[in-house]
Amino acid sequence: MKKSDLVYMPSTYEIDLLKEMDSTINCKLLPVIIYSKNKLKSFDGKRKNLLFVGSFDHSPNVDGLIWFINNILPKVLSSNPDLILNIIGSNTPGKINELRNKNINVLGYVKNNILENYYKKSKICIAPLRYGAGVKGKIIEAMYNQIPVITTTIGAEGLPGIEKCIMIEDKPNEFARKLINVYNNEKVLKKLTEKGYNYIMNNFTIDKAKSIISEDFLQDKPISVESKNAC
């Protein structure tokens, strides 16, 4: 990194860490998740239920989901007793499968077309992460698939301005309160969907990546007189 004129990083979280290690390293944000342009769809008022998506090989997903089910979901169900939490993710451990009941539907691994259908028909996507670093792909994917998201500070990590597009809460009672308050508020959910989608279109497309790289490699004056290296 010290030999390079520029270091591209996937999130502001990694940039801050690197700057703490060596403030002389030149860093810049470059999206590593790229989506094609898509059309914003109208928010379907028939949507219902909650959705969790994440591979269970990743321990923060197991921890966060159990935390949500034990500390938040009961409060949400007290106001919405018919609500269902649909859980999608490969390699589901036994302790998650054992939680199945009339309000918890564990689907395990599903094909992309089925996953896309759940994004379309679910009302809110939850990402209750309590640890883990960097940009969370599940947050980006959910916003691209035009579903409102509620997560924690950890889930929103490394994404500048994301607090305007999703709901963020770390305390169980407040997490539950926010979910209850917006679950039947179609106007708010529609606005969150639009903001999330626009965030992806502004930051995670091939055009955005090209524009960033063009600024550095196609400018009149090179980054360095001797070289144009980047890692």
Q: Residues 41-69: pLDDT tens digits?
A: 888 889 999 999 999 999 999 999 999 99
- Angle made by CA atoms 62, 56, 35, in degrees to the nearest 5: 115
Contact assessment for residue 52 and residue 138, using Cβ atoms and an 8 Å cutoff: no
Residue located via tokens 């607090």: 163
Same domain, 15 and 76: no
pLDDT tens, 94-118?
A: 999 999 999 999 999 999 999 999 9
Return the higher-pLDDT residue of 82 and 137.
82
What's the number of domains the chain is made of? 2
Q: Is the pLDDT of residue 221 over 60?
A: no
Same domain, 106 and 157: yes
pTM as predicted? 0.86
Same domain, 68 and 139: yes
Per-residue pLDDT band at 225 (split at 50, 70, 90): very low
157 lies in some domain: yes
Same domain, 223 and 194: no
Q: Is the pLDDT of residue 226 over 70?
A: no
Pair of tokens at residue 223: 């980054």
44 lies in some domain: no
Which parts of the chain are beta strand (E)? 7-9, 27-29, 50-53, 85-88, 104-108, 124-127, 149-151, 167-168
Q: Output the average pLDDT for the chain.
A: 91
Same domain, 160 and 90: yes
Same domain, 213 and 112: no
70 lies in some domain: yes
Same domain, 227 and 195: no
Same domain, 30 and 75: no
Q: Is the pLDDT of residue 230 over 90?
A: no
Q: Is the pLDDT of residue 92 over 70?
A: yes
151 lies in some domain: yes
What confidence score (pLDDT) does residue 132 get? 84
- Percentage of the chain surpassing pLDDT 90? 74
Whole-number Å distance between alpha carbons of 92 and 95: 8
Same domain, 110 and 221: no
Same domain, 211 and 122: no
pLDDT tens, 177-187?
A: 999 999 999 99
What confidence score (pLDDT) does residue 227 get? 46
Q: Is the pLDDT of residue 125 over 60?
A: yes
Q: Is the pLDDT of residue 78 over 50?
A: yes
> Which domain covers residue 14, as residue numbers?
1-34+205-231
Pair of tokens at residue 38: 């898509």
45 lies in some domain: no
Residues comprising the chain, all counted:
231
The residues near 174 (Cβ < 8 Å, ≥ 6 apart) are none
pLDDT tens, 202-216?
A: 999 999 999 999 888
4 lies in some domain: yes
Q: Which of 26-40, 65-79, 117-131 has the lowest mean pLDDT?
A: 26-40
57 lies in some domain: yes
What confidence score (pLDDT) does residue 163 get? 95
Q: What is the largest CA-CA distance in the chain?
A: 66
| Helix locations, 10-91, DSSP H | 12-21, 59-71, 73-79
Same domain, 159 and 79: yes
Q: What is the mean predicted confidence (pLDDT) over 11-25? A: 90
41 lies in some domain: no
Contact assessment for residue 154 and residue 130, using Cβ atoms and an 8 Å cutoff: yes
Same domain, 108 and 170: yes
Tell the burial category of 32 from Cβ atoms under 10 Å away from its Cβ (0-12, 13-18, 19+). middle
